[in-house]
């Protein structure tokens, strides 16, 4: 139960930060820095309890890696998505309603960047938080948070920069993306995470 609560808290503050830094008046060009930092500190705070996934795609990758029990996968996903829904609901009490949707996006470009940066995120998670070669390191939270920051700066204007199905739920409920684009996040995020896990096994073997 403690693990699921930690996953809820970490995902909640990540999505809550996204809403309050992206929706005007927000952090402007510095929003990706705040988002990456939010993920970083939540990972450092809760990583020792739950693994600090805060992302259904990361949970998938870590499960495929063999470092997340099958019995925890669905509860992790439920905690993460519930946290995103509640965070998005609370943002509506802080930010003005009727936030314009993001401009229409090309689905091929959006799918590609969501896949690539979710791959990068899961790859970094697996290699810094689960690999024997980096066991007990002190930098994994920083590496993971900065991966999200990099992706948000690089391609946030193309896809919304979710790299996380729970975040996709949150930004859609907050009006930052349309439900018509939601499938892009599911396919790109879970696909990128799965390929990252398979690539990790090729590079690192069974360890």
State the alpha helices, DSSP H only, in 99-205. 107-125, 140-159, 165-173, 182-204
In angstroms, the CA 180 to CA 163 distance is 17
Q: What is the pTM of this model?
A: 0.94
Q: What are the structural domains of the chain?
A: 2-204 (1.20.1080.10)
In angstroms, the CA 192 to CA 196 distance is 6
At residue 41's C-alpha, the angle toward residues 36 and 44, to 5°, is: 125
Average pLDDT per consecutive 10 residues, the chain (207 residues; last block may be shorter): 97 96 89 97 97 98 96 98 97 75 74 97 97 93 97 93 97 90 96 98 86
The predicted structure's pLDDT at residue 105: 65
- Closest of 158, 42, 195 to residue 34, by C-alpha: 42
């Amino acid at each position: 139960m403690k693990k699921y609560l930690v996953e809820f808290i970490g995902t909640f503050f990540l999505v809550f930060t996204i809403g309050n830094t992206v929706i005007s008046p927000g952090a402007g060009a510095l929003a990706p820095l705040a988002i990456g930092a939010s993920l970083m500190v939540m990972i450092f705070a809760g990583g020792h309890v739950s693994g600090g996934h805060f992302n259904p795609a990361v949970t998938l990758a870590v499960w495929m890696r063999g470092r997340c029990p099958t019995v925890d996968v669905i509860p992790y996903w439920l905690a993460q998505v519930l946290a995103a829904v509640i965070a998005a609901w609370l943002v509506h009490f802080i930010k003005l309603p009727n936030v314009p949707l993001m401009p229409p996006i090309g689905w091929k470009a959006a799918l590609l960047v969501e896949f690539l940066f979710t791959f990068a995120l899961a790859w970094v998670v697996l290699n810094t938080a689960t690999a024997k070669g980096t066991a007990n390191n002190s930098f994994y939270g920083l590496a993971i948070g900065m991966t999200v920051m990099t992706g948000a700066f690089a391609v946030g204007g193309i896809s919304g920069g979710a790299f996380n199905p729970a975040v996709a739920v949150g930004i859609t409920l907050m009006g930052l993306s349309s439900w018509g684009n939601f499938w892009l996040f599911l396919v790109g995020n879970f696909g990128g995470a799965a390929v990252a896990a398979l690539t990790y096994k090729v590079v690192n073997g069974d360890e």
